[in-house]
């Protein structure tokens, strides 16, 4: 028999018992809403966290000098832990890298020349520490980092005024600095900062630098730690890496550097090539090696953990859906008992068992779909509110919505089948005699 007739029949009988229908809907609405809400907050959280990691340079490859972890050494290390201040081997295990262990400028430029098709840029940096720039009563907190020209490109530093540090600044060890827009505002106000001299106070020392550029400081949407007054916020101040080395008298060479690959380069293949390239340099170094890694794999791992977490929470919420489904089954059983006579009449008029079954399953599906739609709307609302509170950008997913609709329908079929089948199998005579 035709579907339209079944639909209008189902809607008619749901309308006849409005209060009952509403209460039955509630179970499904709550179940679907909580699943959708959790999934929405979950995927928003995943997107935000992965986005933040991506912003930190997930596409980049990091090479760093690391202690070798041989099996022998591990054993010594364990023994060392048991016997503090123990044997001489422990010194080699916990060796601090010396100048000969560091990656040299020469190695880096050779490396770069070796892979011209893969490497777009290499970022070098030397952290100097925090300091303060003062000018009369005005001040700005900074964290000073020595960088090369590639640093700006690899870390997507956006210059809004002037320029970034060039190779020439490094070779000449010029006293030039790139400051944040926040910094420029607090020290220079509306005055043009490029070309001005600034005094950087660090401990006992005072350094005089010329501002050559201003970058746009990004406002992170993930706030961590205690809130700081706007004017006390510490921003980065970039100086040539050669100048930084002379500031803190550190050795030449680097403990780590970052590589940005060209678009379309197979990261995994390049990782392996870069690793074997540096393995040759460090083949005779017993304590140290250069380890090349990308953040992509870390990101994938974090992403799947977060996904599993929100899926797990959604599963728990799904239990309320089962409760809702049982509610529907209960109401349908009451309803078919009340309508026994009607079922008898329909059978007397020639309705087959299948027709009766379809009629009641349709009713069950309709309840679940209405509940599902209301639940989806409510769940997206909950998800938006939840994401807002947690400070994430909310992304309700179409997939989740379609899934929820499918699940509602399945619940309707699953929990509607038993009552519908019971109705379908009624004996026509007994149903007709039912008072």
Partner 1 sequence: MNSENMILMQDIVKRFFIGCPNELQVLDHIGLDVRAGEFVSIVGESGSGKSTLMNIIGALDRPTEGEYILDGVDMGTLDDNKLSDIRNAKVGFVFQTFNLVPRTTALKNVELPMLYAGVSRTKRTARAKELLRLVGMEERMTHMPNELSGGQKQRVAIARAMANDPAIILADEPTGALDSVTGRLVMDIFHSLHKESGKTIVLITHSQELAEETERIISLKDGRITGVRKGSN
Residue (1 or 56) nearer to partner 1, CB: 1
Alpha-carbon distance 56 to 302, whole Å?
14
Of positions 299, 342, 358, 403, contacts partner 1 by CB under 8 A: 342
Stretch binding partner 1 (CB under 8 A), from 89-97, 211-219, 250-258, 341-349: 341-349
Residue (155 or 335) nearer to partner 1, CB: 335
Note whether 346 binds partner 1 by CB under 8 A. yes
Distance of CA 133 to the CA centre of its chain: 35
Note whether 218 binds partner 1 by CB under 8 A. no
Of positions 58, 265, 333, 432, contacts partner 1 by CB under 8 A: 432
Residue (378 or 428) nearer to partner 1, CB: 428
Cα-based angle 25, 28, 29 (whole degrees, multiple of 5)? 80
CA distances from 211 to 97, 139, 164, 221 (A): 34, 15, 10, 28
Stretch binding partner 1 (CB under 8 A), from 62-70, 218-226, 347-355, 369-377: 347-355
Note whether 48 binds partner 1 by CB under 8 A. no
Residue (12 or 406) nearer to partner 1, CB: 12
What's the closest the beta carbon of residue 312 comes to partner 1, in angstroms?
A: 45
Alpha-carbon distance 347 to 204, whole Å?
99
Provide CB contacts within 8 A for 141, sequence distance 6+.
Answer: 130, 131, 132, 232, 233, 234, 235
Residue (11 or 159) nearer to partner 1, CB: 11
Stretch binding partner 1 (CB under 8 A), from 169-177, 201-209, 339-347, 381-389: 339-347
Alpha-carbon distance 176 to 366, whole Å?
71
Contact between residue 76 and residue 89 where contact means Cβ atoms under 8 Å apart: yes
Provide CB contacts within 8 A for 299, sequence distance 6+.
Answer: 50, 53, 54, 58
What's the closest the beta carbon of residue 339 comes to partner 1, in angstroms?
A: 8
Note whether 345 binds partner 1 by CB under 8 A. yes
Stretch binding partner 1 (CB under 8 A), from 9-17, 108-116, 125-133, 402-410: 9-17
Note whether 11 binds partner 1 by CB under 8 A. no
Note whether 357 binds partner 1 by CB under 8 A. no
Of positions 229, 349, 389, 398, contacts partner 1 by CB under 8 A: 349
What's the closest the beta carbon of residue 336 comes to partner 1, in angstroms?
A: 14
Note whether 334 binds partner 1 by CB under 8 A. no
Of positions 57, 166, 428, 434, contacts partner 1 by CB under 8 A: 428
What's the closest the beta carbon of residue 422 comes to partner 1, in angstroms?
A: 15
What's the closest the beta carbon of residue 348 comes to partner 1, in angstroms?
A: 5
Residue (316 or 354) nearer to partner 1, CB: 354
Of positions 352, 391, 402, 406, contacts partner 1 by CB under 8 A: 352
Of positions 317, 351, 380, 404, contacts partner 1 by CB under 8 A: 351
Note whether 429 binds partner 1 by CB under 8 A. yes
What's the closest the beta carbon of residue 28 comes to partner 1, in angstroms?
A: 24
Beta strand 60-67 with 256-261: parallel, antiparallel or unpaired? antiparallel
Note whether 359 binds partner 1 by CB under 8 A. no
Residue (249 or 350) nearer to partner 1, CB: 350
Note whether 3 binds partner 1 by CB under 8 A. no
Residues that bind partner 1 (CB under 8 A): 1-2, 4-5, 12-13, 16, 341-342, 344-353, 355, 428-429, 432
């Amino acid at each position: 028999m035709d579907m339209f007739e079944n639909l209008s029949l189902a809607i008619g009988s749901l309308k006849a018992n409005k209060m009952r229908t509403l209460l039955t809907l509630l179970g499904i609405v709550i179940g679907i809403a909580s699943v959708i809400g959790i999934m929405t907050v979950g995927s928003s959280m995943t997107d935000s966290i992965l986005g933040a990691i991506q912003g930190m340079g997930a596409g980049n490859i990091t090479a760093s000098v690391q202690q070798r972890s041989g099996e022998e050494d591990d054993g010594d290390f364990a023994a060392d832990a048991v016997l503090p201040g123990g044997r001489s081997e422990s010194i080699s295990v916990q060796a601090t890298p010396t100048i000969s262990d560091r990656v040299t400028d020469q190695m880096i430029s050779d490396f770069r020349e070796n892979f011209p098709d893969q490497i777009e840029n290499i970022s070098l940096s030397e952290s100097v520490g925090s300091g303060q720039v003062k000018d009369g009563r005005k001040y700005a907190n900074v964290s000073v980092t020595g960088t090369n020209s590639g640093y700006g490109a690899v870390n997507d530093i956006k210059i809004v005024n002037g320029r970034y540090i060039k190779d020439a600044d490094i070779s000449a060890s010029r006293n030039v600095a790139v400051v944040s827009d926040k910094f420029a505002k607090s020290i220079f106000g509306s005055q043009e900062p490029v070309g001005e001299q600034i005094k950087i106070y660090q401990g006992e020392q005072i350094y005089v630098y010329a501002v050559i550029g201003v970058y746009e400081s990004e406002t992170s949407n993930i706030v961590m730690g205690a809130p700081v007054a706007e004017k006390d916020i510490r921003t980065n101040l970039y100086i040539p890496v050669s100048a930084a080395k002379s500031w803190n008298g550190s050795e030449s060479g680097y403990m780590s550097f970052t590589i940005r690959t060209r678009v379309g380069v197979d990261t995994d293949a390049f990782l392996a090539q870069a690793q074997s390239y540096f393995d040759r340099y460090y083949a005779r170094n017993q304590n140290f090696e250069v380890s090349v890694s990308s953040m992509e794999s870390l990101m994938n791992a974090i992403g799947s953990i977060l996904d599993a977490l929100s899926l797990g929470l959604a599963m728990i919420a799904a239990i309320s859906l089962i409760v809702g489904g049982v509610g529907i089954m209960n109401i349908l059983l009451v309803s078919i008992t009340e309508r026994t006579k009607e079922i008898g009449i329909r059978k007397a008029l020639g309705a087959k068992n299948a027709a009766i079954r379809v009629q009641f399953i349709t009713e069950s599906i309709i309840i679940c779909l209405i509940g599902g739609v209301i639940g989806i709307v409510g769940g997206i609302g909950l998800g938006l509110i939840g994401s807002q509170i947690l400070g994430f950008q909310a992304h309700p997913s179409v997939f989740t919505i379609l899934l929820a609709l499918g699940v509602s329908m399945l619940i309707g079929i699953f929990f509607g089948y038993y009552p519908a089948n019971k109705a379908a199998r009624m004996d026509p005579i007994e149903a007709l005699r039912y008072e």
